[in-house]
Structures are given as C-alpha cells and as structure tokens.
Structure 1
Amino acid sequence: MKKLVFAMTLLSAAAAAQAQSSVTLYGEIDNGIAYESGLPHGHALTAETADFIPSRFGIKGAEDLGGGTQAIFQLESGINTQNGALTIGSSLFNRNATVGLTNPVWGTFKMGNMGAYELSQDSFDVDPQLMQEYALATLVRGRNWAQAGNGLEYTSPEIHGLTVKGQYDLGNTTSWNQGNPGSVPGQLGNAPGSGLPGSTQGRSDGLKVMYIAGNLELLAIYDEIRDGNGQFDNVYLNSRSLLTGGTYTMGPVKVYAGYQHLSAPDASNIGVYGTAGTPTTLPNGVSLPTAVDHEWLGAAWQITPATALTSGVYHANANNGNGNATMYTLGGTYNLTKRTFLYSEAAYLHNSSTSNIGLGDGYTDSYGANINDDPASGSTSTAPNFGHSQEGIYAGIVTTF
C-alpha cells in the first residue's frame, strides 16, 4: 500500500510539473507566385515565398517560477520554402534566440538575438498592408526590416491602455558604437570583407510607445541602427527613424495613417561607393540622400468573417535631389479555415524623374543605378530606371501550425 501511495505521489508531482511548463512548436508556410513589370530588363513571372508573411518555424516555451513569474524562451528560424534554405544570413535561429522572465505586474525582460523582432518591425501595427511585400517597407528600401543581435529588451505591462517597449543591442567591442558584426546582404552598403566603410551593422537601440483606447490605437517608434563604424552612414539602412501612426476602427472598417522620418547625417558617396566621387551614373545633381520623409494612408474592410479587402497609398520624398515615389496598393485575403488562407495584392509604383525605387524589399533594389543605367558599374538591382514605374501582382496561400 505504501508503494502504491508513493507511486501515485510521484505521478501527481510529475503531472503538476508538466502543467507548470509548456513547449510549443509553431510556424507559417507562405508560398505563391508573382508577376512584375518595369524591371531593368522587362518583366518576370516568379515563384515566391513570404510575400504575405515570413515563412518560419520556431519553438517557444514557459516555465512557472511561482508568484506569477515565468521563465520564457523562443528560438525561431526563417526559411525559404521554395528551396528549403535558411534566410537572413543562413544562421539557424536567425529570427530569434532569446530567454527571459515575465510577470503580469512588472512586465517582460528578454536577452539574446532579437533578429527579425528589432523594434522597427513592430510598425506593422499601423500599416494597412501589414508589412506584406508591397507595403510600409517598400519606399524606404527595407529600412523597416531591420535586424538586431546581442540584445536586451523590456516590455512594460499595459497600464490604462499604455504599453512601453525598449531595446538595446550591444556592440560587444571596446568601441561603444562598433561591433554587432551582422550585415544585411544585398542592401545598400558594401559587402562584408570588402574593406570599405559601412559593411556591417553596429549598435542599435529604440523605444516604442503604444496606446489603445476603445477603437483608437496610437503608435510611436524611435530607433537607431548604426554601421560598423558607429555612424549613420545611409538613410535606407543605418539611420535614425522616427515613426508615428494610428488606426481607428469603425465597424468592419479600420482606417490607417502614419508618418516616418529617416535621417543619416553621416551619409556620403564615399561611404557607399568607396571613392570620393560617384562611380555610377546618377542623374545630374543627385547625391546620396541624408533624409527621407514617408507618409501613408489606407484602410482594411472585413467584408465577411472570411473575406477582407485592404488598400493603401504610400509616398516618400528623399533629399539631395533624389525625388519622390508614390505607391498604390490593393489586396485581399480569404480564410479557408482558421489556420489556412489565400491572399493577393497588386501595386503600382510611380517614380519622379530622379527616383528609381522598386517593388523589391531593399535587398534586391538597393540605392544607386542599375546595370541598365550604368553597364560599367551599376548593380544587378531589380529597381527600375530613373523616372520609370513598376507594377506587380502576387497571390499565394499561407498555412500556420
């Protein structure tokens, strides 16, 4: 009898321990097809991944420590589900690798690789296209897709609708602003190992404030991304960003509006091209921009419980003669089940005579002339020629687990 009681006690203790801890495997797979025209050499029909949402898989868990406090962790990898490759530098847990503590009274603290959860990516809350391929990050050449490593993050509990989140990402070197030797392949800046300035990402930090009251949601994000030399050397990658926006819900319709200012006071042609001159064919009077103003307005309409329609207009104006661009978007989703939905979005992007922003994500259409504009030194960018437009449409399916 004593043995039976002892065995039952052990089983009860194991069950209690299991109830106090949890580990969850999760992810999304997004595959589709896209057609774009206005590319440097014509048009393209392509198989796509992550046009609506990043394809990814991850593991997250929590352990109850008592008194409402939990130890938490998250490991997350981005994947290209067209070829099976890892994304973002091919690191295994490239999107997130953090551990921390959370409590409903004092908030949540995390440490580790923030990865794709760098603060600027929280701007999807005020984006009518929810940071899809043609959305808030497009006209700023992917600046809102910033990455962050070596990070510390604190999120406050919600107090009367107000939540504050802060991030600080250490450089891990004796120089305060240097280190954090990650880079974003293909974006504006020189390749790692080139020996030219601006080849790596340096220290980053930021602060987010969100306020929700009834149907109103307000958001403000300030963040800084420095280059490996501790400078703000280009506006589309290593810069200061101030973003503000809000939404208001009226029945089935949600209205979006916002503004973003990017600043890179240390930007110079030498910081990008590696010489004092400009070894590429830019329009007369154009040099590397040091500031961009970005505005947008849009709406989402939940037509039925399964069907939604989204639209948005985005406009950006860059200084130093770089002109302006306007993008018009229309998209929609249809839920097949709670876990699986279809999506589509169309966009038209119009450039002024000295602008050549494309429908890419900043990786494929970085700043500067493409090989059409400058066969000798232009890049293989997918951006259009200066003053030309681009059109695109894509459709796909997402399933979550």
Structure 2
Amino acid sequence: MKKVVLTTSLLAIAAAAQAQSSVTLYGRIDNGIQYENGSPQGHKIAAESGDWGCSWFGMQGSEDIGGGTAVIFQLEGQLNTQNGTSSGALFGRHATVGLTNENYGTFKLGNLGAGELQQDSWALDPQLMQRYAISTLTHGRNWPGIANGFEYTSPKWFGLTLKGQYDLSNNTNWNSGVLPAGQGRSDAIEAIYATGPLEVRVIYDELRSTQGNFNNLYAASRSIMGGGTYTLGPVKLWAGYQHLNAPQASDASVFGTDAVSAANLPGGVSAPTSADHEWGGAAWQVTPAATITGAVYHTNVNHGNGNATMYTLAATYNLSKRTFLYTEAAYLHNSSTSNIDLGNDSWGPNNYNGANNTTSGAGANNPDYGHSMTGVFAGIMTAF
C-alpha cells in the first residue's frame, strides 16, 4: 500500500512540474529566387534564403517558480537554407535567460543578438524588413546585433510599454569592443504606445566603435527613429522618420588604409556624419489570404553623399496558417553622388558610397554613382 501511495505521489509531482514548465521547438524556412540589375557587372539571378525574412531554428521555454514569476530562456540561430549552413554562431540570434512577471515586467540577459531594439523597427516598416525595405537605404543599420547584454521590458501601462537595453564590450576598456560582431558598448531605449487602430513607436540606440565613439554612420553611430501605424478596415497605413549621427566620422575612420576607395570618391564628397531617412506606405488586405503592400523610402546624406529613393511593391498569399507565398519588386534611384545598392550590405570600404566599382571588383553589388538598380524576388515561407 505504501508503495502505491509513493508512486501516486511521484506521478502527481511529475504532473505538476510538467504543468509549470514548458519547452517549445520552433523555426521557419524561407527560400526563393531573386533577380537584380544595375551593378557594373550586369544582372544577377540567384537562389536565395531569406529575402522575405531570415530562416531560423530555436527553442524557448519557461518555468513557473511561483508568485506569478517564471524563468524564461531562448536559444535561436539563423540558417542559410539554400546550402544548409548556419549563418553565424550556432545561437547567434538569441541566447538568453531571464525572469518575467505580469506585474513587474521582463528582465533577461545574455546574447540579445537580433533582439537589439533597433530591430523592432520592423513594426514601423510597411515591407516588414524584407530585402527591399527599411534597412536598404541605411546599409543594414536597422538590424544590428548585440552580445553581453541585459534588457528590461515593462508591463503595459494604459497602452504604454517601455523597453531598455545595455550591453558591455567585455574588454578591460569597458567603452570599447569590435564592430560589427561583438561590438563596443551599446545601449537602446524604446517606447511603444498602442490604442485601438493606432500604434506609435520611438526607438533610440547607440552603437560605439572600438575607440568608444561614433565614427561610422552605418556601423558606429546614434539613431533616433519615430513613426506609427493606423488601421482603417482592410487598409493599414505606415509613416516613419529616422536620423543617424556619427560626429567623429572621417575618411580615416571609415576607409582606414583603403586609399583606393577614398581616392575614388566623387569631387566634394567625404565620409558622412549624418543622414535623414523617411518612409511611408500602405497595405491592403484584398482577401483573407491576399495582401498587397506599397511603400516609398528616401534618404539624404550629408558631406556631398547625395540622396536615394526606393519604390517598392509587394504581395503575399497565405496557403495556410503557417505557410505563404511572397513577392516584392523595387526600383532604387540614386542621385549623382550616391551609389546605394539593394543588398542591405554592412557599411565598409568596398560596398558603400566610397566604392568605385569600375576599378574595384570587391564592391560588385553597388551601382556606379548616379545609377539606379531594379530587383524582384519571389518565394515561399513556412513556419513550425
């Protein structure tokens, strides 16, 4: 009899533990075909993983420890599903553990990775951070990653949610690090207000260089962004503005020893220290399964670097609750001293406005100054 009682007790304890904790495996796969034209090397047709969004695989879980508090964790890595390789570190997107409470908010620490608050700008982007979207005219500045960090998210107070992040360089000089991977000290804050059909966000973040300053507009800079969305029946409207600032940027801090790129800048052009980026768009839910989205993005860059405007048109069609088809087309127009490309490339001597692609094969994605680019892609995304 005692044996039966003990067994029953153990089963009850196991059942209770199961009810109080959970682990979920999840992921998504995005594969498609892409065509782009406008580089000095001509057009390109490519099979792509992640034109609509990154492919990833991860796990997350929680454990109820009582008093309304749960321990949470998340591990997530990015995949190139065209060749089966990991894009970066195994859990480069997320590797965090923390605590969450409905009344006090959520705190987590570790590799915040793709959770850097600037990446929340997807919610302000009509094209939801596809390949041709909010990051294109900022050379990928709107999707940085951070490590060695901690984050706090408040509960929602009358529609308002606040978020804050800080990450350390883990060097003896706490103000330094290595950009863009394992970057220098950075911090970010975000405010989100939602009521009815309206949502408004403001995001401010700082990414510092190895010297602890702001010396590269698209890699070590300050960013302030604001915008919102408004839903009118089947139509959703977007509008936003972003200012980038890198007061210590110079030809030396940007080009380093790459004298070729510096020498090939158009006359009157030098490393930029600020840029203004604005956009607007609308999405129309044509049917419960089909959506069409149009958006325009524009940037002005100082120190003679000119301006660029990108026009986009996209569509999705849901095959089920977790699988959809997608397509997007874009036309990017550069002014005479701009050569931004469609590739969302990280800013460096050979893939931004300092690259003269008629003499440097390393900058093959960028059009010549004043030249336009066009692109279109289509694919399928499934999640599990």
User: TM-score normalized by structure 2?
Assistant: 0.96
**Deviation per residue, 1:111-155 (Å, 9 max, x gap):** 000111111000011100001100000001100011100001000
**Deviation per residue, 1:236-271 (Å, 9 max, x gap):** 111000000000000010000000000000101111
* Alignment pair present for 1:5 and 2:5: yes
Distance 1:46 1:219, change over 3 A: same
Aligned with residue 267 of structure 2, among 281, 284, 296: 284
Partner of 2:317: 334
Opposite residue 368 of structure 1, the aligned amino acid is N
CA deviation after TM superposition for structure 1 residue 84, in Å? 1.4
Opposite residue 375 of structure 2, the aligned amino acid is G
Summarize the alignment of residues 2-401 of structure 1 with structure 2, pairs less than 5 Å apart: 2-87=2-87, 90-179=88-177, 181=178, 183-184=180-181, 201-275=183-257, 279-363=262-346, 366-370=351-355, 372-375=357-360, 379-401=362-384
Q: Where do 5+ consecutive residues of structure 1 fail to align?
A: 185-199
The 3-state SS of whatever aligns with 1:227 is coil
CA deviation after TM superposition for structure 1 residue 176, in Å? 2.9
Q: Distance in 2 between matches of 1:70 and 1:223?
A: 28
CA deviation after TM superposition for structure 1 residue 379, in Å? 3.1
Q: Distance in 2 between matches of 1:288 and 1:379?
A: 19
Distance 1:276 1:133, change over 3 A: closer
**Deviation per residue, 1:188-237 (Å, 9 max, x gap):** xxxxxxxxxxxx72111000000001111000000000111111111111
Q: Distance in 2 between matches of 1:311 and 1:320?
A: 31
Q: Where do 5+ consecutive residues of structure 2 fail to align?
A: none
Opposite residue 314 of structure 1, the aligned amino acid is Y
Opposite residue 387 of structure 1, the aligned amino acid is G
CA contact (8 A) 1:211 1:217 kept: yes
CA contact (8 A) 2:169 2:185 kept: yes
Say how many residue pairs are matched. Answer: 381
Stretch of structure 1 that moved more, 36-45 or 271-280: 271-280
CA deviation after TM superposition for structure 1 residue 174, in Å? 2.8
Work out the percentage of aligned pairs sharing the same amino acid: 60
CA contact (8 A) 2:180 2:219 kept: no
Q: Distance in 2 between matches of 1:177 and 1:84?
A: 37
**Deviation per residue, 1:58-95 (Å, 9 max, x gap):** 010000000110000000000111111211xx211110
The 3-state SS of whatever aligns with 1:79 is strand
- RMSD (Å), alpha carbons: 1.5
Opposite residue 171 of structure 1, the aligned amino acid is S
Q: Distance in 1 between matches of 2:162 and 2:351?
A: 33
Opposite residue 6 of structure 1, the aligned amino acid is L
The 3-state SS of whatever aligns with 1:379 is helix
Opposite residue 309 of structure 1, the aligned amino acid is I
Q: Distance in 1 between matches of 2:147 and 2:131?
A: 24
Q: Distance in 2 between matches of 1:183 and 1:258?
A: 25
Q: Distance in 1 between matches of 2:92 and 2:208?
A: 19
CA contact (8 A) 2:219 2:346 kept: no
CA contact (8 A) 1:156 1:165 kept: yes
**Deviation per residue, 1:302-328 (Å, 9 max, x gap):** 111111111100000000000000000
Q: Distance in 1 between matches of 2:258 and 2:90?
A: 39
Q: Distance in 2 between matches of 1:331 and 1:245?
A: 21
Opposite residue 191 of structure 2, the aligned amino acid is V
